[in-house]
Structure 1
């Protein structure tokens, strides 16, 4: 059984839409979220830690809202910003910007304790991202890293005044092609969302695993 390490029912529904209703289960585990300006190391570290806890194949994701004029902020700190100041204040800060371009980005990390043959090589330590994804943590030997396979997805949009009652998180202030994510049905959002795009790549690869 594949375990999606999340307590967010919306994420789990999205994963099941791509992987099958009975193919993935939710798993509640409070893995360590390391501090990083990039999503990849955060998701990879969580996947390794979650695999050690579960002992079976796991997927962990890290996602964020990246606002161009804020140099990508809040990015990996999106959940913290949402919890502390709320999405309405993010809109208030963004409203005066001449360019409110932004993107939702997601990185999905998979770990099952085994090695991967798929490219890019997940143990290529010459690459910063994949090295972070497979490097040994403080409690494991450098010679025995746990490989992690990464899948990314992104969708461009614009920050707007909150609209809509659906979705979760920043969905009400993120507009794509004239419609906020909160104004879309779950099916419409899943078809183009950043997480959906990462899940689609993962689902295609996972069929060969």
Structure 2
């Protein structure tokens, strides 16, 4: 089955294709950005809009950062938080809170015109007191996964793979796609 991943990120497409062990066609589509904290709500709107454009089975991925003391903010709105206050601003605003725990969540949506499914991956951790590290992107310099003392931006790629929320979501998607393929071969 040919799959399309609606993303402008070549890195994201390579990472997902590698875990799926199958090729993906990447399409950079201009999809509506639903303004919601809930990553799953954002994904449902985006994957259905992507399907309406490509008319083929399609995947859409989004990742959010849920800060527990902020009742889940910024969630899927993390991009706008980073654009307005940046990692330094998030750390500064969080300084007055004792609870620095957070959950990084990736949701991958699949839609083939009939069947809609989401696949979630979560990584729990803490928000660092200040940004650290130079690798990665986005909020990687402020997220310290549980079991580590380094931020994602300080970890080696092999360490990140072990706790990656995107990898967890992609493995769940892979299991689903493998089962679908197996069913097609038995019918």
TM range (shorter): 0.7 to 0.9
Cα 1:27/1:185, change in 2 over 3 Å: farther
Alpha-carbon shift at residue 204 of structure 1 (Å): 1.1
| 1:27 matches 2:27 | yes
Find the aligned partners of 2:97 and 2:120 in 1 and give their Cα distance.
Answer: 28
Count how many residue pairs are aligned between Structure 1 and Structure 2: 176
Residue in structure 2 matched with residue 168 of structure 1 by the alignment: 137
Q: 1:10 and 1:82 mapped to 2: Cα distance?
A: 20
User: 1:14-62 CA distances to partner (integer Å, 9 max, x unpaired)?
Assistant: 2022113x51122100111223332112101111110111122111122
Q: How does 1:30-49 map to 2 (within 5 A)?
A: 30-49=30-49
Whether contact under 8 Å (1:164, 1:180) holds in the other structure is yes
- 153, 169, 173: which one aligns with 1:182: 153
1:152 aligns with 2:120: yes
1:2 Cα shift? Answer: 1.2
- Aligned partners of 1:112 and 1:185: how far apart in 2? 36
Measured after TM superposition, the shift of residue 112 of structure 1 is 1.3
Deviates more, 1:97-106 or 1:189-198: 189-198
Alignment match, 1:100: 100
1:59 alignment partner, SS class? strand
2:79 is equivalent to residue 76 of structure 1: no
Distance 1:185 1:12, change over 3 A: farther
List runs of 5+ in structure 1 lacking aligned partners. 115-146
Q: Give distance in 1, aligned partners of 2:4 and 2:45.
A: 16
**Structure 1 partner of 2:185:** none
In the alignment, structure 2 segments of 5+ residues that lack a partner are 181-187
Q: Contact 2:37 / 2:73 at 8 angstroms: preserved in 1? A: no
C-alpha root-mean-square deviation of aligned residues, in Å? 1.5
User: Is the contact made by 1:57 and 1:110 (CA closer than 8 Å) also made in structure 2?
Assistant: yes
